[in-house]
Amino acid sequence: MSESITFPDGFLWGAATSSYQIEGAVREDGRTPSIWDTFSHTPGRTAGGDTGDIAVDHYHRYRDDVALMADLGLASYRFSVSWSRVQPTGRGPAVQRGLDFYRRLVDELLGRGIKPFVTLYHWDLPQELEDAGGWPERETAYRFAEYAAMVGEALGDRVENWITLNEPWCSAFLGYGSGVHAPGRTEPLAALRAAHHLNLGHGLATSALRAVLPPRASVAVSLNSAVVRPLSQDPADLDAARRIDNLACGIFHGPMLHGAYPQGLFADTARITDWGFVQDGDLAAAHQPLNALGLNYYTPSLVSAAENAPTGLRADGHGESEHSPWPGSEDVAFHQTPGERTEMGWSIDPNGLHELITRYSRETGGLPLYVTENGAAYPDKPDADGRVHDPERIAYLHGHLAAVRRAIADGADVRGYYLWSLMDNFEWAYGYEKRFGAVYVDYATQERTPKSSALWYGQAARTGTLPAVDAVLGDASQ
């Protein structure tokens, strides 16, 4: 019998979602369109023409969803606030009806003993700000700080844990580089400008939050920094890995954690820009002390120089586009990593999560860390009895949680883990085709059914110990 894997007392077992993916109610209580409303309603942008207009109707069903979290034994819930629900045009006063939804949600969570973890920005920029130029424009960073203060003032008496941005890499490089995410632009210079202004916006929002939150509050950011591995030890492949690591990781953690962009980034992108949009004081503004760091992880990247990739394919796992999300490094080749894959085509490698955690434990000097997203998509379907068994997801979670525990044993201060996702939802450009949830959602009826993985994860959350992968946990329809 294998030795049981037990987590430290106080470890937070949670699940995560984001506003546009679950809330629906896109035209209620003063909410105006975000870039994802516009993008999803543009023909050809999403699978099947799917939109988040209804999603999983969390806006109206949040009480039932919180009850479901409590039944599963979750200790924490990470959700994001819809900017255009709170400040519809991205300017001016807050709309109290929008804030009231999040007040009710937080109260419901606290009433069930579930710690709220608030993310201020999960990609849904108000469309009016995009019409004014979006994240490539400096003004957006100042608007974001203003919005952060509004939400902080409204919820800061009850919410201790805050995240400014979720995965700014996706916002900058999938939104403005490859165009597979909203707003769907394919402009390498705009992508680099957006990255800088996201850094600036993070720093300004951190300062704005600290001005309105109680001293006990924790402010963090969630990065999807990549685990980048060279195909070989050939110097050209090693340089390809360095270039991608700078664009995937250093371009954000450099300013946020160290107050500087990584060495070589400016030279690698010199044919695109001279970085003249970086103004005096910007890096100091971006470099605000953090209380914690969130890490999102799904799969590693394997890269080489172009001459070492005869197929010339870019298998980077970030959607199909003729335009690269890697400005200045479009010639770097991405390779399929070996091993089993999820339905997204992403290889399953728990060791990559251990590698990421231990890297950022060193990078931050031991700052508290949270795994703020980790999970897998599989083609889940109810059986004849209405149960949803997903043993592949259980194996995925067991492997990655075991990697987290190894990182803790190696000295990393990991405070919690947030499964992506609580329930099936609108999966961005993939529409409703990909199911990441631990809870199955019948999109026609909005009925929720905990999958086997939800019951497995709930037992881990209640006991602090990982059940066996093949543990029999009862009826997944209950």
Residues assigned a catalytic role: 167, 373
In sequence order, what are the beta bridge partners of 441?
A: 448
Angle at 189 between CA 184 and CA 194, to 5 degrees: 65
Structure token digits, residue 68: 């479901």
Helices (H), 156-281: 168-169, 188-212, 235-245, 251-253, 265-268
Distance CA(142)–CA(124), nearest Å, equals: 16
Note whether 194 and 171 are within 8 A (CB). Answer: yes
From 364, 362, 336, 338, select the one nearest 351 (Cα to Cα): 338
Query: HSE on the CB side for 394, CA within 13 Å?
Result: 24
Q: Which two tokens stand for residue 229?
A: 């591995």
Tokens read off for 105: 């949600």
- Cβ(21)–Cβ(65) below 8 Å: no
Helix/strand/coil for 338: coil
Measured distance CA(125)–CA(129) in Å, rounded: 7
User: What is the DSSP secondary-structure string of 165-197?
Assistant: EE-HHIIIIITTTS-SSTT----HHHHHHHHHH
Q: 3-class DSSP state for residue 109?
A: helix
